[in-house]
Chain A
Amino acid sequence: MNLDELQHRLSELSPVLAPFFSLEFGDAVVGVSSDKLLETARELREIGFDRLGMVTAVDRGEFLTLVYRLQSRSLSSALFVKTKVSPAEPHVASLFEVWPAANWQEREVFDLFGIVFDGHPDLRRIMLPDDFDGHPLRKDYDNPAMIRRPDYI
């Protein structure tokens, strides 16, 4: 299914989501605010996006972008869900109840970005030791033990 068809189909299936639909660099993206994330996820699950492929975040400086990649076998298509959270108070609803696949992936984002997923059943650090200080994938993370690579290209 190409992107136009997907957009058409999405507006047919879920009129609520259609206004948030956009195209970014050739990918279908649903951009929502962080407080609407859970209901958007439920809606998308309802219309057939049964597979949560990836959860990740990107540190953009003034805000953190959460990126979810969904796949649907019935629609044979994929789309991104993107939402912004503030780095100072990074709270967002957990999608564990919608897709259990979010379990470890959200723990990873919590570990490396410090985004707290409210409602997650077992939010602990997953990659780093429990006594680790800071969230390394944030751009402002600094650790004196890290040796910076000399700048030769």
Chain B
Amino acid sequence: MTLNIESRTKTVSETGLPVDEIVVNIGPSHPSTHGVGRVLVHLDGDIVVKADMIVGYLHRGIEKMAENRTYLQVCPLTDRLDYVGSMYANWAYCRAVERLAGIRVPERAEYIRVIVCELQRIASHMMGIGSAAADTGATTMFIYAFDVRERIIELFEVLCGSRLTYNYVRPGGVSMDLPEGWTDDVLKFTSTVRRPLDEMDKLFFGNTIARGRLKGVGVLSAEDAVAWGASGPTARGSGVNWDLRKHDPYSVYPRMEFDVVIGDNGDAYDRDRVRLLECYESVKIIDQAISQMSGGAYKADGLARLITPPPGDAYDHIESARGSLGVYLVSDGSPRPYRMKVRSPAFCNLALVPKLAVGHTLADLVVVLGSLDPVFGEVDR
């Protein structure tokens, strides 16, 4: 595997004139690829004529590793998939295991899962908006967004002792009950978080330069969004009303009142702004969940440490911060999964880069990439 690339190629344009294209290699280590993505961009002047998105630089073979671990031992691996939103992969995996093994989850555990996942959604969206802003050069916005994220990380640290890889949602419930006073801390957070969110809305989305950079860039039509399998804020930014929390309800989401935020134009601005507005909805959901939550068990009773589901297969998905995150599990009756497949939303969204970037300038390519909010742990698995 070598990294050498030809930096110039000669092609003929549609009009028959020879074009001297410059090939710019962006990545795999580049400040705006959000990890280890790589884009080979063919430029005609400053206009992208072809963008080849190359992924796989973080392919760790988690699906293969899962085949040699018990169902419980796979949980920590799922943390490392989407490292910006570890709770989601935990939950999606646990839902698939629960469906496969027929485990009933207590109500309190479902509420706890909803609370932590909505907190995680805010944290993840903050990272998404922040890094999308940093791609356009607004470093300060990134730091403000990260500040909000840091407050959530502190809450999680109190909850399960870890800052990033929580391993909190387990098959049958959650790993431990909420610490005393934790819900008060969360309520304190939700009552104060609107101010920084408003501030960010003004600082970045109200800024003339930012609007000029984001509006009209990487326009994705609603039909294309559905056909290309886009989900989450990427699809909702294009006006596709598709949110698994509403349209394929799971857990206790049917009891929650919230709106699905959708954009109008399907450009980078809409995708990024949908993320910000979803944070307000998440705050609403957290408040409702805390007020509805009652006591009880946080974990299913009589759950064996070694889960041995009957042979069969199960697929379950949740709405993660990046879209519909699904886990497909095949069991052969042994204590280890026969096959685990993670349907990664970031992977499907990222497949749109070659489509969206063409016709824009090089400066817009990083905006397009940022607006899809890829996390390469999940893309490459």
Q: What's the least CB distance linking B164 to chain A, in Å?
A: 24
Is B351 a contact partner of A149 (Cβ separation < 8 A)? no
Is A148 a contact partner of B228 (Cβ separation < 8 A)? no
Q: Does A59 touch B at the CB level, under 8 Å?
A: yes
Q: Which of B69, B227, B324, B381 contacts A53 (CB 8 A)?
A: B324
Q: With a CB–CB cut-off of 8 A, which chain A residues contact B63?
A: 112, 137
Q: Which of B224, B312, B350 contacts A25 (CB 8 A)?
A: B312
Is B1 a contact partner of A58 (Cβ separation < 8 A)? no
Closest 10 CB pairs of A and B: A101-B229, A25-B312, A127-B59, A127-B56, A54-B343, A104-B351, A129-B1, A56-B341, A58-B339, A100-B228
Q: Does A105 touch B at the CB level, under 8 Å?
A: yes
With contacts A51-B226, A56-B341, A153-B70 known, is A69 near B55, CB below 8 A?
no
Question: Which residues of chain B (40-69) have a CB below 8 Å from chain A?
Answer: 55-56, 59, 61, 63-64, 68-69
Q: What's the least CB distance linking B312 to chain A, in Å?
A: 4
Q: Which of A25, A103, A104, A105 contacts B314 (CB 8 A)?
A: A25
Q: Digit string of A123-140 for contact with B (CB within 8 Å is 1, else 0)?
A: 001111111000011000
Question: Which residues of chain A (83-106) have a CB below 8 Å from chain B?
Answer: 99-101, 103-105
With contacts A56-B328, A58-B338 known, is A101 near B312, CB below 8 A?
no
Question: Which residues of chain B (276-326) have a CB below 8 Å from chain A?
Answer: 306, 312-315, 317, 324, 326
Is B229 a contact partner of A53 (Cβ separation < 8 A)? yes
- In the assembled complex, the Cα of A125 lies from the Cα of B380 at a distance in Å of 12
Q: Does A33 touch B at the CB level, under 8 Å?
A: no
Q: Does A67 touch B at the CB level, under 8 Å?
A: yes
Further contacts, 5 of them, CB under 8 A, given A24-B313, A26-B99, A104-B348: A27-B315, A54-B343, A58-B313, A104-B347, A153-B70
A-B contact pairs, 24 of them (CB 8 A): A27-B314, A53-B326, A54-B326, A56-B328, A58-B330, A59-B339, A99-B227, A99-B229, A100-B227, A100-B228, A100-B229, A101-B351, A103-B351, A104-B347, A105-B348, A112-B63, A126-B56, A127-B56, A129-B1, A129-B56, A131-B1, A149-B68, A149-B69, A153-B306
| Total A-B residue contacts, Cβ distance less than 8 Å | 94
Q: With a CB–CB cut-off of 8 A, which chain A residues contact B64?
A: 136-137
Is B326 a contact partner of A69 (Cβ separation < 8 A)? yes
Q: With a CB–CB cut-off of 8 A, which chain A residues contact B380?
A: 127
Q: What's the least CB distance linking B286 to chain A, in Å?
A: 27
- In the assembled complex, the Cα of A80 lies from the Cα of B381 at a distance in Å of 23
Q: With a CB–CB cut-off of 8 A, which chain A residues contact B312?
A: 24-25
Using a CB–CB distance below 8 Å, which chain B residues touch chain A? Answer: 1, 55-56, 59, 61, 63-64, 68-70, 99, 224, 226-229, 242, 247-248, 306, 312-315, 317, 324, 326, 328, 330, 335, 338-339, 341, 343, 347-348, 350-351, 380-381
Q: Does A50 touch B at the CB level, under 8 Å?
A: yes
Is A67 a contact partner of B328 (Cβ separation < 8 A)? yes
Is B242 a contact partner of A73 (Cβ separation < 8 A)? yes
Q: What's the least CB distance linking B378 to chain A, in Å?
A: 13
- In the assembled complex, the Cα of A19 lies from the Cα of B212 at a distance in Å of 55
- In the assembled complex, the Cα of A133 lies from the Cα of B381 at a distance in Å of 19
- In the assembled complex, the Cα of A73 lies from the Cα of B240 at a distance in Å of 10
Q: Does A11 touch B at the CB level, under 8 Å?
A: no
Q: Does A14 touch B at the CB level, under 8 Å?
A: no
Q: What's the least CB distance linking B339 to chain A, in Å?
A: 5
Question: Which residues of chain A (30-66) have a CB below 8 Å from chain B?
Answer: 50-54, 56, 58-59
Q: With a CB–CB cut-off of 8 A, which chain B residues contact A56?
A: 328, 341, 343
User: Which B residue's beta carbon lies closest to that of A153?
Assistant: B70
Q: With a CB–CB cut-off of 8 A, which chain A residues contact B343?
A: 53-54, 56, 69
- Most chain A CB within 10 A, of B69, B224, B347, is at B347
- In the assembled complex, the Cα of A108 lies from the Cα of B55 at a distance in Å of 11
- In the assembled complex, the Cα of A73 lies from the Cα of B243 at a distance in Å of 11
Q: Which of A26, A59, A76, A130 contacts B1 (CB 8 A)?
A: A130
